[in-house]
Structure 1
Amino acid sequence: MARYARICEIEYELPAQVLDNQTLAQDFPEWDVEKIFQKTGINKRHIVAEGETASDLAFRACEKLFANSAISRDQIDCLIYCTQSPDYLLPATACILQHRLQLSQHCAAFDFNQGCSGFIYGLGLAKGFIESGQCKNVLLITAETYSRYINPKDKSVRTLFGDAAAATLIRASDEQAPCLDRFRYGSDGAGAQNLIVPMGAARQPLVAGQRPAEHEDESGNIRSDADLYMNGPAIFEFSMTRVPALFASLFDEQFSVEDSDLFVFHQANQFMLEALRRRLKLAPEKFITEFRHCGNTVSCSIPIALKEALGKGQVQPGKVITAVGFGVGYSWGGCVIRW
């Protein structure tokens, strides 16, 4: 009997601390509340408190999942943790979460460093583990705290990114056809410098007790080389080029755009998503957008959007969803989810 991987549950967690447009407008008087919303489509972002980490959010998202699903902790045989905000350089945060969540010691646990396409990559990994017979129940966790890397005087990124974690349960199922299908991936490291924290790792280590000098760009944003830098125009050009090509590769004579009931893309910002929707000629009612309340949450954005769409009744059993992630790396990935 065939065994296919299937998404069974999604839960997510946002930090309690809120950064709203009113606060940002006070910090950046040249941008009022309405201008910030028009540029981003975001009303507020959630930001971790002092001492709070991505794995703290991940833990709480998983606790929600266990509380709201029928699966027991000892049934999880693989924990996949997608983050660019690890607790430590080593060990892997996944191992720490395995212990903290009281999962079985027979549970595989590992991190992978991926950003905006991370959820798609994680689904592909989970599918591989399950459909090869290595695992039956995979807990895919995505968690990010980009706020730790953002200079508070850099409105180009501070207005966009929020912190979050999402926990997705993927289980083996005796379905008649794949529920996670048509995976496509791509990468182009030539664009690595366009979304990057230049200093802090092995290539450019930070010297203890020394903070790199801040500098101001032509738009008035202030940051240092230890802060997140985003080349907005380059990221937009990348997205307008790579995403349509990736999207087209998901379809053929056996599966057309019309066969997909819904489309969920990485929730980057309103301007980019609307440009992509128009470029791809997708109907607004089929195009999921759920980021006004949390901002761009990187690898968490697609599962958060799916969870919100589930709550609104947009995602129901039998629905076919085309999912696309893209961004930092450059990296991109897409797949089809049969709910």
Structure 2
Amino acid sequence: MKAKISAIEYALPSQVLTSEDLAREYPDWSVEKIEEKTGIAKRHIAGDKQCASDLGVEAAKKLFAEGTCSPDSIDYLIFCTQSPDYFLPTTACVIQDRLGLPTSAGAIDFNQGCSGFIYGLGLAKGLIETGQARQVLLIAAETYSKFIHPGDKSVRTLFGDAGTATLITAVDSKKETVGPFVYGTDGRGAKNLIVHSGGLRLPKNVDTAKVEEDSHGNLRSKDNLYMNGPEIFTFTLLSVPRMVNALLKKCQIDLDQVDLFVFHQANRFMLESLRKKLKISEEKFVLAYEEFGNTVSSTIPIALHEAQKRGQLKEGMRVMLVGFGVGYSWGATIIEW
């Protein structure tokens, strides 16, 4: 049996933060400046009581409503998030109950960010091709907005919240439709995209809540998300081209034999820099961030869904998926759509 992506759905919070909204809050940043730097016009923001699990459940219910599968046909649930409901229990267990999945199904969380969808596909492929599961539901969802200080324009202009649900099924075939994979990890970069407090290493306290202003006028405390943009950009420009070339070598194909490229939708500047460095043509390069922002582990499945909807992604295409970011962590794979 081989693993195959059978369906993708996504869900977004109803609250929207536009570039116009941000420009009113940051008088020194115009709408044009924000959109020129990021390419993002809208970001969907979770409500005060809305969690990543809520968005993931909504996406899964949309997938079930399509009729592609039913809850009782799922035998493994994988939930990718860095904003879980609880330290314990595993949020996947809570989602299993809310979706009415069989009690015979496996259910796990894994904490991964921008490369999370690739890692989740790798886990699903392993489960299916070793006979442990036949239908895997991969949910990726984030509410990074809950970590962001409203005075920190360096990240508030970039990130949006979302949930996605992807069905990976077993098919009787000798042909690979998901894989091979290449991965990478460099924990030396952990400090460059981080929420310092809130875990057991540094519990939240009065000191971690103290807000400070950086040299660029951004406000944040240790309870908030911190991103060192220049370091993240440098890491990406070094690691991603190497990863793409390593995957091509592993597949024994050339760049021009890939029909479509779907990268983690970080922002316009990052993606355009990567596209030009790798010499990928614009028509083969999917962009789907303008209406969503950087939704972390949800960007790739949202981009796949959008590319199919607008006719850019067609059945039988060979597609390269590339994730990279927080950790540092990166991963890439080839799929046949």
Give the match for residue 244 of structure 1: 241
Separation in 2 of the partners of 1:70 and 1:222? 46
Q: Which residue of 1 aligns with 2:255?
A: 257
Cα distance in 1 for partners of 2:294, 2:68 equals 30
Aligned to 1:141: 139
Structure 2 partner of 1:270: 268
Matched letter for residue 35 of structure 1: K
**Runs in 1 of length 4+ with deviation above 2 angstroms?**
none
Q: Distance in 1 between matches of 2:115 and 2:256?
A: 24
Task: Check whether the contact 2:321–2:332 (CA below 8 A) recurs between aligned residues.
Answer: yes
C-alpha deviation, 1:71, in angstroms: 1.2
Question: Displacement, 1:211?
Answer: 5.8
Choose the corresponding residue for 2:109, options 105, 108, 111. Answer: 111
Whether 1:286 aligns to 2:284 is: yes
In the TM superposition, residue 302 of structure 1 has moved relative to its aligned partner by 0.2
Give the Cα separation in 2 of the matches to 1:256 and 1:110. Answer: 36
Equivalent pair of 2:208/2:222 in contact (CA under 8 Å): no
Correspondence 1:225 to 2:218 = no
Partner of 2:126: 128
SS at match of 2:248: coil
Give yes or no for contact 1:200–1:206 (8 Å, CA) kept in 2.
Answer: yes
The normalised TM-score by structure 1 is 0.98
Q: Deviations over 1:95-134 (max 9, x none)?
A: 0000000000000000000000000000000000000111
| 1:273 Cα offset (Å) | 0.2
Shift of 1:257: 1.1
> Alpha carbons of 1:327 and 1:6: their partners in 2 closer, same or farther (altered >3 Å)?
same
Residues 32, 107 of structure 1: alpha-carbon distance in 2 compared, 3 angstrom cutoff: same
**In structure 2, how many angstroms separate the alpha carbons of the residues matched to 1:220 and 1:333?**
34
Equivalent residue, structure 2, for 1:9: 7
Q: What residue identity is the alignment partner of 1:162? A: G
Q: CA deviation at 1:50?
A: 1.4
1:302 aligns with 2:300: yes
Gaps of 5+ in 2: none
Distance 1:326 1:254 in 2: 22
- Paired with 1:10 and 1:247, the residues of 2 have a C-alpha distance of 24
In 2: Cα distance, 1:71 partner to 1:54 partner: 22
Deviations 1:288-308 (A, max 9, x none): 010100100000000000000
Q: How does 1:25-40 map to 2 (within 5 A)?
A: 25-40=23-38
Distance 1:33 1:216 in 2: 23
Identity of aligned residues (%): 56
Match of 2:185 in 1: 187
> Shift of residue 79 of structure 1?
0.2
User: Aligned Cα RMSD in Å?
Assistant: 1.0
Q: Does structure 2 retain, via aligned residues, the 8 Å contact 1:9–1:69?
A: no
Question: Given that residues 127 and 133 in structure 2 are in contact (C-alpha distance below 8 angstroms), is that contact kept between their aligned partners in structure 1?
Answer: yes
Shift of 1:175: 2.5
Give the letter aligned to residue 307 of structure 2: A
Q: CA deviation at 1:70?
A: 2.8
Aligned residues: 336
Equivalent position to 2:170, from 169, 172, 182: 172
| In structure 1, C-alpha distance between the alignment counterparts of 2:22 and 2:78, rounded to whole Å | 35
Separation in structure 2 between the aligned mates of residue 16 and residue 5 of structure 1, nearest angstrom: 33
1:71 to 69, 72, 75: 69
**185-194 or 169-178, which deviates more:** 169-178
Partner of 1:214: 211
Which residue does 1:158 correspond to in 2?
Answer: 156
CA distance in 2, matches of 1:106, 1:125: 18
Q: Is the 8 A contact 2:90 2:108 kept in 1?
A: yes
Unaligned runs of 5+ in 1: none
Q: After superposition, give the CA deviation of every residue in 1:11-59 in whole Å (9 maximum; x if it has no partner).
A: 0001000000011001100001010000000001000111111111111
Q: CA deviation at 1:60?
A: 0.5
Q: Report the Cα offset of residue 210 of structure 1.
A: 6.7
Amino acid at match of 1:281: K
Task: Measure, in 2, the Cα distance between the counterparts of 1:156 and 1:64.
Answer: 33
Question: What residue is the counterpart of 1:198 in the other structure?
Answer: 196
